[in-house]
């Protein structure tokens, strides 16, 4: 009977088996992409990736989006769950469960990437009998993708948390807690890492929704553009260099702004603008976070939700007047197609955090196709109207154009003020906005507000422009209805108390 | 039948001796007899009564009694006297002839001492027991409508807290012994049913797998509490062991039939105090905004009264008991049909039970065969209606002719302007109930054969073999009409589920009983193999019309089912050494191997040792008339816990995603493979128990009981803990980390207040004081880490597990809470999560049980009263009912307290403040039973008893919700525990 003590469940895959089989290795790689889109192995919930918080609230993209939007002058949420309102008030602390959620998702993803990279080294593959050159070559490419996804999440960590725990594939599982890396050292690591994988990744626009060289360049541009914040040293010329690589590839602005945010944005001309995306699907990729959250929570009040291809609004998100005011003349006199605000029954200003009727609604995303058909799991198509087909554009060409212009205006070489203006105006012209006669650095922040709101860039942008903690007020900032300055240390989020208690190597960010 | 037996002090075995069939009786006769003590000296003053009659007499100085006019037939005489064990003697009275009862010897009241007590792997004399063991037999059980076995002993055993999940038929219970030694691992005690240790796994479709055992078949429930008693069960014993023994026939007994039927009506004892439609309208019109006012309706609907009903229950058992030749047997069938208070909620149970207990080969081979089978049909209704009814807008009607509601079955629902349902809003409670059919059929069969063979040639050596199985099947279907608002968006549900539990047991032990150095020695050594299989099936997710909504996802190995197995392989031994009935030594040792852990981590060693000094056996007490028993017990031991609900958590495995968690890459969708958290170092948690006990008896056994003091230290807790980022494949998982302590005192007293010919009154009382404290939780002692926060509760070092973690509410001069004002405990000018403090604990500091049985002639009365003191409850029903500023197009009803406090627009701070923390102390009259024995009115030698019982007749508490007895401590609406009135009739012949 002693042999009975070794019970191996047959319905799960043993690591030894998985990493012997190129098909299962691919499924393991694809799982790394999935971390951004789902929250566990049974969409929309069940078999969760992390514990301690609901799958819906803690989903990676949802929390990344919320931190970038709610902590900035863009978004506000009426819900009163736990300490959620502390994000909108910029009064969070190390025990905030939503900060913990994004922190845990980021490091969950990095841990998963490390495991994949660890298990697919040439040595390990050979020891498991994968010696075929083609297969090994393909898996080497997978590893580069895994390293890109790891770099992407490390960038999120670097941007939001500063000095963070660090481990790569050379560490072992279950061992001692990882050391803390400085923000500057992590920057260098990411720079080296992305440059190292650049030649191995597939060329830009080889395949949709795959981490390719274009995604790598876009991320390097982001890193360099924010280098001064991250390391104290500006790297604007490098930002121009990598933005140029994107501009030189075959990306094309979508003919219409709205196409970027529709259910068929993977299939229309919009996909030529998209550099890296988080795909969602009403039937196959389900979550109550991610895109379904961004769309549902933005709807409510008198908005007819069915027009947006979902079964109803969740009455949460509104936009702060700061962004609305960037569109001069709205709601009347603006030709800018990007002003997708819904005003009926809503006030422009916000004095009460929890009153959904305060603040305009954002109707940028629609779970209908460019020809007006509802998404695949809309009620009209036999679904329940909870899930959506809109792929979330993480990096897109317009963003890179604006980054390119900004890097030049910040003193980067590799272009002129004229090319900077041209890139900005290309973006403006696409949406029917009047071209600018000239462009200054401060114009870029406003233009990014107009072009990229509701796309999770704002917090990082405000910090880079020095307008996050001070010099820029928004409703509820600092816990005051009319807003007030906040301490500079809040440009970083605190490392969650849960990890400080689990890892003696960690030091809290100053101020918390 | 139970109520008909005379009240006798002490834990007596229930009577199985029934009058036998009659021999041509005509009139009556005189019965006389003589009673002596152990030294053959005559015993005066002994009460002798004829069972089931008012006839009786008292012995004279010669120990002689005479009872005239005893009806012809077979009778049982009951001899009782203070300080002596009660005896029962059968006599047959023939027409007009005097009968001489056999000379009867009454032993000193060693009844309680010599009685056999069930222990792990065997029995012991009560006086030899060195551990902390409490037995409750059927006489002392809670009476009335009891559906699940554990409820029989609620309030009866010191140190055992049993909390039902609510009042639904067959609802589960939380059972905590001595404060619970685990945190994330199971805190459930091990149940051993007729020698078969059963699984802790739940069964799909069964609220409580234990409810598949018919309580009417149970003879006794024994609770093993300290390590000296439990350590022989090793890795499953840390939270105590509960041994359930069913009724069995006795050798030589005449065949006797018993039929009992019981009928109950149950009602809701209390409703949550919420506003009426008129009060609600008034409030919204005065204080609401225009959007809220526009939503008001014109009705006065009491949703709570609309979803409940008076519930009827019938519980019937028929049994045959006796001996056929050399084979004692008992067979029974049971039928229970129990309605829940919630409409459309009911449970039907069919049970069958057979036991055969022959003794063969000149008494050398004892065989015990137990077979139990049961079948439950559940109709669950939609229990989410319980909470929804509390908060649903009372100004709206249940149904409406307005065509807007026609798509939803005519039920009122919150609609948007365009006629679509409001998202994320509550749904009409009656629609939830009436448009859902949620049924299950669960079956269980539990059986074993035990062979106990006294080996020839070696005196005192015996071998015992126990082979058993426990098979459970859960099947269920859920149908929700497409018009139900709750599932309208997906056009209803038509789903099924299925689960199998298959458990196997093989045990063998050898026992030697003999004398070493002139003293009694018992040695036992055994082996046990157990396999617990748990199989779940996967089905398509279907719409009401049967079309597939989401196709099932096959498993990694392309099956539509998956099985988890737990295997336990164990060796155990025990030594008992008894020196002159004064000094008693017990040592046990168990080795367990569990498949839940890696090979190098799976073997656990669990020793225990105990010493008892029976002071009564010493010369200075032997002759003492006041002290009838005094025994001091010291015990020490280690037990384990391995049940974390996860099998094979030590293996590096990957999980395949479902079809709805696919990922698009490069134009193709993939099901993904995710590596799971694993911990190859995982091993059992260890609880070390120290126990000091004192068993006492005074006044010839009229007052008996025990005092116990214990400390239980658990280390290497199987704690579902945060792990440091990047160190494993999730943010949390099971680690062996942390420790906790339970300390407590238990008091038990049984007192025969009156022992008389007609009137007997006995009371029993128990008290438990337990303090639970977490002593370590993390790898690093970080001052900023407050603990593992779970909503409004926390596991934090220095506090009891599950303590409340809340804000400090601020009050105005009039003592009214100030809206949205809580104390800035951090004093940093910002109110946030860190301004909470660790407040009270939901755990009662004191648990009291008090019961009494009294009989006067043919009348008897029994009750059980129990109280939990010092525990706190967070009233989530109150805190959740506030005036929502949300404009999502719905209104929610409010607690009536808003009429006085005017509190509205709580932010999350006030809603989590200590304003809603209430003292949950209560006293509940668990049951009162009044019985009457008619005797043989329905035929010679027959018995007929009538009982009337009331359960939950009153609940004394200051708690403002409907019931403070909530195991988690957080009141988020509980299915009301019914107030039940039961009439029962038992007929035996």
Task: Check if A497 contacts B (Cβ < 8 Å).
Answer: yes
Two tokens at B845? Answer: 């500091």
Q: Give the three-class secondary structure for B155.
A: coil
Look at residue B351 in the predicted model and tell me its pLDDT. 97
- Cβ separation of A93 and B834 shorter than 8 Å? yes
Single residue among B77, B92, B109 that ends a domain in this structure: B109
Q: Is A88 left (phi over 0), alpha (psi -120 to 50) or beta?
A: alpha
With 0-12 CB in 10 A as exposed, 13-18 as middle and 19+ as buried, what is B403?
exposed
Which of A261, A512, A271, A309 lies closest to A397 in space, CA to CA? A271
Quickly tell me which residue has 């541009």 as its tokens.
A221
Minimum CA–CA partner of B506 in chain A:
A1
Q: Which residues of B touch A267 (CB under 8 A)?
A: none
With 0-12 CB in 10 A as exposed, 13-18 as middle and 19+ as buried, what is A442?
exposed
With contact defined as beta carbons under 8 Å apart, do A333 and A321 qualify? no
Look at residue B905 in the predicted model and tell me its pLDDT. 58
With 0-12 CB in 10 A as exposed, 13-18 as middle and 19+ as buried, what is B226?
buried
With 0-12 CB in 10 A as exposed, 13-18 as middle and 19+ as buried, what is B94?
middle
- Evaluate whether residue A222 is within a structural domain: no
- Cβ separation of A33 and B663 shorter than 8 Å? yes
Cα–Cα dist A286/B204, whole Å: 26
The DSSP symbol for A163 reads: S
Look at residue B941 in the predicted model and tell me its pLDDT. 78
CA distances, B394 to each of A122, B413, B428, B886 (Å)? 68, 12, 11, 18
Instruction: Name the stretches of chain B with pLDDT < 50.
Output: 1-26, 110-111
Q: Closest partner residue to B556 among A12, A37, A503, by Cβ?
A: A12
- Evaluate whether residue A236 is within a structural domain: no
B222 has which bridge partners?
Answer: B135, B243
Cα–Cα dist A282/A43, whole Å: 10
What is the span of the domain harbouring residue B67?
28-109
Single residue among B60, B78, B109 that ends a domain in this structure: B109
Cα–Cα dist A334/A341, whole Å: 12
This complex has an ipTM of: 0.95
What's the gap in Å between the CA of A312 and the closest CA on chain B?
5
DSSP letters spanning A53-120: S-HHHH-HHHHHHHHHHHTTTSEEE---STTTHHHHHT---TT-HHHHHHHHHHHHHHHHHHHHHHHT
Residue in A37, A40, A95 to test binding to B, most B beta-carbons within 10 Å = A95
Two tokens at B782? Answer: 């970080």
Question: Residue A188 maps to which CATH number?
Answer: 1.25.40.390
Look at residue B757 in the predicted model and tell me its pLDDT. 78
Q: Which residues of A touch B552 (CB under 8 A)?
A: none
Q: Which residues of B touch A46 (CB under 8 A)?
A: 658
B241 has which bridge partners?
Answer: B190, B224
The DSSP symbol for B816 reads: P
DSSP letters spanning B587-631: EEEEEEEETTS-GGG-EEEEEEEEEEEEGGGSHHHHT-SSEEEEE
Look at residue B834 in the predicted model and tell me its pLDDT. 78
Cα–Cα dist A226/A240, whole Å: 12
User: Based on the structure, what is the number of domains in chain B?
Assistant: 2
Minimum CA–CA partner of A40 in chain B:
B661
- Evaluate whether residue B773 is within a structural domain: yes
What's the gap in Å between the CA of B777 and the closest CA on chain A?
9
Which of B64, B122, B159 lies closest to B769 in space, CA to CA? B159
Single residue among B91, B109, B127 that ends a domain in this structure: B109
- Cβ separation of A352 and B648 shorter than 8 Å? no
- Cβ separation of A177 and B727 shorter than 8 Å? yes
Look at residue B47 in the predicted model and tell me its pLDDT. 82
Of chain B, the end-to-end C-alpha distance in Å amounts to 11
Task: Check if A286 contacts B (Cβ < 8 Å).
Answer: yes
What's the gap in Å between the CA of B287 and the closest CA on chain A?
15
- Evaluate whether residue B339 is within a structural domain: yes
B536 has which bridge partners?
Answer: B499, B562
- Evaluate whether residue B185 is within a structural domain: no
| Three-class HEC string of B662-715 | CEEECCEEECCEEECCCCCCCCCEEEEEEEEEEEEEECCCCEEEEEEEEEEEEE
With contact defined as beta carbons under 8 Å apart, do B979 and B952 qualify? yes
Cα–Cα dist B323/B358, whole Å: 9
Calculated CA dihedral for residues A298, A299, A302, A308, nearest 10 degrees: 130
Q: Give the three-class secondary structure for B280.
A: helix
Look at residue B157 in the predicted model and tell me its pLDDT. 94
Q: Closest partner residue to A51 among B420, B731, B908, by Cβ?
A: B731
Two tokens at B35? Answer: 């009673």
Quickly tell me which residue has 């155990």 as its tokens.
B572
Cα–Cα dist A469/A477, whole Å: 9
Quickly tell me which residue has 């209430």 as its tokens.
B918
H runs (alpha helix) in B349-469: 384-391, 429-434
The CA-CA-CA angle for residues B405, B410, B416, to 5°, reads: 20
What is the span of the domain harbouring residue A488?
14-200+472-512
With contact defined as beta carbons under 8 Å apart, do B817 and B915 qualify? yes
Count CB atoms within 10 A of the CB of residue B702.
Answer: 20
Question: Residue B274 maps to which CATH number?
Answer: 2.40.170.20
Cα–Cα dist A221/A251, whole Å: 16
Look at residue B41 in the predicted model and tell me its pLDDT. 74
- Evaluate whether residue B850 is within a structural domain: yes
With contact defined as beta carbons under 8 Å apart, do A89 and A143 qualify? no
The pLDDT tens digits for B639-659 are 999 999 888 889 999 999 999
Task: Check if A267 contacts B (Cβ < 8 Å).
Answer: no
- Could you give the strand order of the β-sheet that contains B793-795, starting from the edge strand earlier in sequence? B788-790, B793-795, B803-806, B837-838
Q: Which residues of B touch A153 (CB under 8 A)?
A: none
What's the gap in Å between the CA of B731 and the closest CA on chain A?
6
Chain A (28-67) residues lying within 8 Å, Cβ to Cβ, of chain B: 28, 30-31, 33-34, 37-38, 40-44, 46-47, 49-52
Look at residue B117 in the predicted model and tell me its pLDDT. 86
- Evaluate whether residue A260 is within a structural domain: no
Quickly tell me which residue has 């290497």 as its tokens.
B716
Cα–Cα dist A71/A74, whole Å: 8
The series of mean pLDDT values per 10 residues for chain A, 512 residues long, is: 85 90 96 97 93 93 98 94 90 91 98 96 91 87 97 98 97 88 98 97 94 98 98 97 96 97 96 97 96 96 92 94 94 89 95 91 97 94 93 98 97 90 97 94 96 98 97 94 96 93 92 90
Look at residue B39 in the predicted model and tell me its pLDDT. 67
- Evaluate whether residue B819 is within a structural domain: no
Count CB atoms within 10 A of the CB of residue A182.
Answer: 13
- Evaluate whether residue B413 is within a structural domain: yes
Cα–Cα dist A216/A147, whole Å: 10
Cα–Cα dist A435/B801, whole Å: 64
User: Based on the structure, what is the number of domains in chain A?
Assistant: 1
- Evaluate whether residue B196 is within a structural domain: no
Phi/psi of residue B505, each to 5°? Answer: -135, 135
- Evaluate whether residue A161 is within a structural domain: yes
Q: Closest partner residue to A208 among B550, B565, B667, by Cβ?
A: B667
Chain A (344-383) residues lying within 8 Å, Cβ to Cβ, of chain B: 352, 354-357, 379, 382-383
Q: Helix-strand-coil percent breakdown of chain A, rounded to 5?
A: 45, 10, 45
Residue in A5, A120, A274 to test binding to B, most B beta-carbons within 10 Å = A5
């Amino acid at each position: 009977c002693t042999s009975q003590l070794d019970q191996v469940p047959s319905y799960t895959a043993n690591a030894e088996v998985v990493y012997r089989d190129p098909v299962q290795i691919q499924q393991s790689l694809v799982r790394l992409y999935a971390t951004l889109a789902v929250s566990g192995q049974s969409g929309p919930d069940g078999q969760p990736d992390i514990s301690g918080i609901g799958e819906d609230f803690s989903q990676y993209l949802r929390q990344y989006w919320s931190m970038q939007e709610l902590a900035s002058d863009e978004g506000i949420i009426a819900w009163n769950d736990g300490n959620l309102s502390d994000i909108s008030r910029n009064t969070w602390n190390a025990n905030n469960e939503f900060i913990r959620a994004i922190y845990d998702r980021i490091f969950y993803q990095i841990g998963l990437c490390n495991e994949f990279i660890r298990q697919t080294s040439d040595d390990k593959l050979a020891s498991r009998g994968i010696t075929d050159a083609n297969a090994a070559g393909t898996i080497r490419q997978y590893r580069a993708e895994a390293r890109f996804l790891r770099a992407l999440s490390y960038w999120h960590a670097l941007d939001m948390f500063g000095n963070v725990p660090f481990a790569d594939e050379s560490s072992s599982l279950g061992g001692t807690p990882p050391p803390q890396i400085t923000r500057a050292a992590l920057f260098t690591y990411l720079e080296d890492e992305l440059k190292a994988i650049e030649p191995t990744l597939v060329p830009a626009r080889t395949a949709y929704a795959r981490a390719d060289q274009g995604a790598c360049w876009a991320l390097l541009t982001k890193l360099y553009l924010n280098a001064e914040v991250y390391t104290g040293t500006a790297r604007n010329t490098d930002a121009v260099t990598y933005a140029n690589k994107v501009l030189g590839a075959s990306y094309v602005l979508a003919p219409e702004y709205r196409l970027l945010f529709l259910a068929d944005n993977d299939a229309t001309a919009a996909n030529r603008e998209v550099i890296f995306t988080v795909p969602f699907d009403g039937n196959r990729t389900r979550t109550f976070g991610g895109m379904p959250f961004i769309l549902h929570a933005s709807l409510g009040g008198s908005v007819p939700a069915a027009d947006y291809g979902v079964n109803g609004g969740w009455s949460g998100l509104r936009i702060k007047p700061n962004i609305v005011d960037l569109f001069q003349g709205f709601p009347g006199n603006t030709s800018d197609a990007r002003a997708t605000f819904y005003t009926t029954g809503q006030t422009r200003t916000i004095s009460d955090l929890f009153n959904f009727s305060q603040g305009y609604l954002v109707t940028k995303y629609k779970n209908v196709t460019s020809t007006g058909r509802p998404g695949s799991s809309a009620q009209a198509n036999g679904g329940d109207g909870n899930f959506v087909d809109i792929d979330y554009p993480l990096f897109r060409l317009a963003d890179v154009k604006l980054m390119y212009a900004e890097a030049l205006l910040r003193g980067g070489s590799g272009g002129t003020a004229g090319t900077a203006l041209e890139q900005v105006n290309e973006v403006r012209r696409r949406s029917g906005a009047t071209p600018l006669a000239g462009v200054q650095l401060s114009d870029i922040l406003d233009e990014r507000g107009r072009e990229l709101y509701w796309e999770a860039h704002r917090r990082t942008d405000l910090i880079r422009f020095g307008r996050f903690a001070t010099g820029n007020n928004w409703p509820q900032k600092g816990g005051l209805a009319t807003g007030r300055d906040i301490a500079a240390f809040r440009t970083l989020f605190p490392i969650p108390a849960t990890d400080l208690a689990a890892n003696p190597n960690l030091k809290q960010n100053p101020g918390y | 039948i139970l109520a008909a037996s005379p009240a006798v002090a002490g834990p007596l075995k229930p009577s199985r001796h029934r009058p036998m069939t009659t021999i041509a009786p005509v009139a009556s006769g005189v019965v006389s007899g003589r009673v002596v003590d152990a030294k053959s000296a005559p015993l005066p003053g002994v009460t002798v009564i004829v069972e089931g009659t008012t006839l009786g007499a008292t012995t004279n100085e010669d120990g002689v009694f005479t009872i005239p006019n005893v009806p012809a037939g077979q009778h049982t005489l009951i001899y009782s006297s203070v300080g002596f064990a009660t005896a029962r003697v059968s006599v047959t009275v023939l027409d007009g002839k005097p009968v001489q009862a056999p000379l009867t010897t009454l032993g000193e009241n060693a009844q309680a001492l010599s009685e056999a007590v069930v222990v792990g792997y065997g029995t012991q004399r009560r006086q030899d027991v060195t551990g902390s063991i409490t037995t409750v037999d059927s006489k002392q059980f809670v009476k009335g409508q009891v559906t699940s076995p554990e409820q029989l002993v609620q309030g009866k055993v010191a140190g055992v807290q049993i909390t039902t999940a609510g009042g639904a038929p067959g609802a589960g219970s939380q059972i905590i012994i001595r404060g619970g030694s685990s945190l994330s691992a199971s805190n459930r005690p091990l149940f051993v049913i007729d020698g078969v240790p059963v699984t802790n796994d739940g069964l799909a479709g069964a609220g409580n797998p234990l409810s598949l055992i018919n309580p009417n078949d149970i003879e006794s429930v024994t609770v093993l509490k300290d390590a000296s008693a439990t350590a022989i069960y090793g890795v499953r014993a840390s939270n105590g062991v509960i041994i359930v023994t069913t009724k069995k026939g006795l050798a030589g007994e005449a065949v006797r039939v018993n039929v009992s039927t019981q009928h109950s009506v149950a009602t809701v004892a209390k409703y949550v105090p919420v506003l009426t439609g008129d009060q609600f309208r008034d409030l919204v019109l005065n204080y609401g905004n225009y959007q809220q006012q526009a939503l008001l309706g014109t009705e006065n609907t009491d949703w709570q009264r609309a979803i409940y009903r008076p519930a009827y229950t019938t519980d019937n058992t028929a049994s045959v008991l006796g001996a056929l030749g050399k084979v004692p047997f008992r067979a029974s069938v049971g039928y229970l049909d129990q309605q829940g208070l919630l409409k459309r909620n009911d449970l039907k149970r069919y049970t069958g039970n057979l036991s055969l207990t022959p003794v063969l080969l000149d008494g050398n081979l004892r065989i015990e065969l137990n077979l139990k089978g049961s079948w439950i049909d559940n109709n669950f209704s939609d229990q989410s209606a319980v909470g929804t009814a509390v908060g649903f807008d009372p100004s709206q009607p249940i149904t409406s002719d307005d065509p807007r509601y026609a798509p939803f079955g005519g039920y009122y629902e919150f609609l948007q302007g365009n006629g679509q349902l409001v998202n994320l809003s509550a749904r009409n409670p009656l629609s939830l109930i009436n448009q859902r059919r949620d049924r299950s059929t669960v079956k269980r069969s539990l059986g074993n054969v035990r062979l106990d063979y006294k080996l020839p040639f070696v005196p005192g050596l015996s071998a015992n073999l126990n082979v058993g199985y426990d098979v459970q099947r859960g099947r269920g279907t859920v149908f929700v009409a497409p018009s139900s608002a709750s599932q309208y968006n997906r056009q209803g549900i038509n789903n099924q589920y299925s689960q199998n539990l298959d458990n196997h047991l093989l045990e063998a032990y050898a026992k030697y009983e003999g004398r070493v150095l002139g003293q009694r020695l018992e040695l036992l050594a055994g082996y046990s193999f157990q396999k617990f299989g748990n199989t779940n099936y996967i089905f398509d997710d279907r719409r009401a019309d049967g079309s597939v909504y989401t196709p099932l996802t096959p498993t990694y190995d392309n099956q539509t089912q998956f099985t988890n197995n737990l295997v336990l392989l164990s060796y155990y031994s025990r030594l008992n050494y008894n020196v002159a009935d004064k000094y008693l030594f017990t040592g046990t040792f168990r080795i367990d191997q569990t498949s839940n852990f890696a090979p190098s981590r799976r073997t656990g060693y669990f020793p225990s040792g105990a010493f008892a000094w029976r002071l009564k056996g010493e010369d200075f007490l032997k002759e003492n008339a006041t002290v009838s028993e005094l025994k001091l017990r010291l015990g020490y031991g280690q037990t384990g816990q391995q049940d974390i609900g996860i099998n094979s958590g030590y293996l590096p495995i990957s999980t395949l995603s479902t079809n709805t968690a696919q990922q698009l890459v490069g134009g193709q969708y993939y099901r993904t493979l995710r590596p799971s958290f694993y911990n190859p170092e995982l091993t059992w948690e260890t609880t070390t128990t120290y126990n000091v006990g004192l068993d006492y008896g005074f006044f010839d056994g009229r007052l008996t009981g025990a005092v116990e003091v214990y400390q239980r230290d658990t280390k290497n807790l199987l704690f579902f803990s945060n792990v440091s980022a990047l160190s494993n494949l999730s943010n949390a998982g099971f680690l062996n980390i942390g420790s906790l302590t339970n300390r407590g005192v238990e008091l038990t007293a049984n007192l025969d207040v009156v022992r008389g010919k007609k009137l007997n009154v006995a009371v029993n009382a128990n008290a438990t004081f337990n303090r639970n404290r977490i002593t370590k939780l993390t790898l690093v002692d970080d001052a900023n880490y407050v603990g593992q926060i779970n909503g409004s509760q926390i596991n934090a070092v220095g506090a009891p597990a599950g303590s409340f973690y809340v804000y400090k509410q601020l009050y105005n001069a009039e003592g009214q809470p100030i809206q949205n004002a809580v104390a800035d405990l951090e004093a940093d000018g910002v109110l946030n999560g860190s301004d909470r403090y660790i407040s009270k604990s939901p755990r009662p500091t004191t648990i009291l049980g008090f019961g009494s049985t009294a009989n006067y002639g043919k009348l008897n009365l029994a009750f059980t009263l129990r109280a939990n003191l010092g525990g706190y409850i967070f009233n989530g029903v109150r805190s959740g009912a506030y005036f929502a500023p949300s404009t999502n197009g719905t209104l929610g009803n409010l607690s009536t307290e808003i009429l006085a406090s005017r509190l509205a627009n709580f932010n999350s701070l006030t809603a989590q403040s200590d304003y809603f923390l209430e003292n949950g102390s209560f006293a509940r009259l668990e049951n009162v039973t009044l019985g009457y024995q008619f005797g043989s009115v329905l035929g010679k030698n027959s018995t007929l008893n009538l009982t009337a019982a009331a359960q939950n007749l009153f609940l004394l508490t200051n708690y403002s919700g409907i019931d403070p007895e909530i195991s988690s401590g957080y009141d988020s609406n509980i299915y009301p525990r019914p107030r039940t009135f039961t009439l029962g009739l038992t007929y035996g012949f």
